[in-house]
Amino acid sequence: MKKAFVILFLLSAQINAQPLFSDKGHPEHFIAGTVISGVTSYYIFKKTDNKWKAWFIGAGTAGVLGLLKEVIDPLWFNNKRSFNDFKYTTLGAVVGASIVIPLRKKKQKVKPNFETAFNAPSIITKSY
């Protein structure tokens, strides 16, 4: 019953939020930098199990892609270069790459040593 009231309230409430897309494109650049660096840093962390390496590679990847986009902007899209777009992409990259900081390292699985278990000399000795 509580869920029904919450859903009804959310459906009937008028939300006056700021639009996600803007004329200047800064939120889009921030979101793109966040997504690219977050995915990259998470993938690198899972492969290397090193937080700082994953953070630097993730932030660097999004930063380089943002710079590359600003370099090719006037050539392919007939836009002019914007340093603010690059700043917002880099800021998003720093935020997105920070997803790896709270992650925990993998625990090493302890493999049983069967050789010593089966080939070890017996502790029990027969005494007659």
Higher pLDDT, 78 or 15: 78
* Per-residue pLDDT tens digits for 79-122: 788 888 899 999 999 999 998 888 787 777 777 776 766 665 65
pTM of the predicted protein model: 0.63
Q: Are 98 and 55 in contact (CB under 8 A)?
A: yes
* Per-residue pLDDT tens digits for 22-35: 566 678 889 999 99
Half-sphere exposure of 41 (CA within 13 A, CB side): 30
Sign of torsion, CA 21 95 43 105? negative
> According to the model, what pLDDT value does residue 30 have?
92
Sign of torsion, CA 60 64 31 35? negative
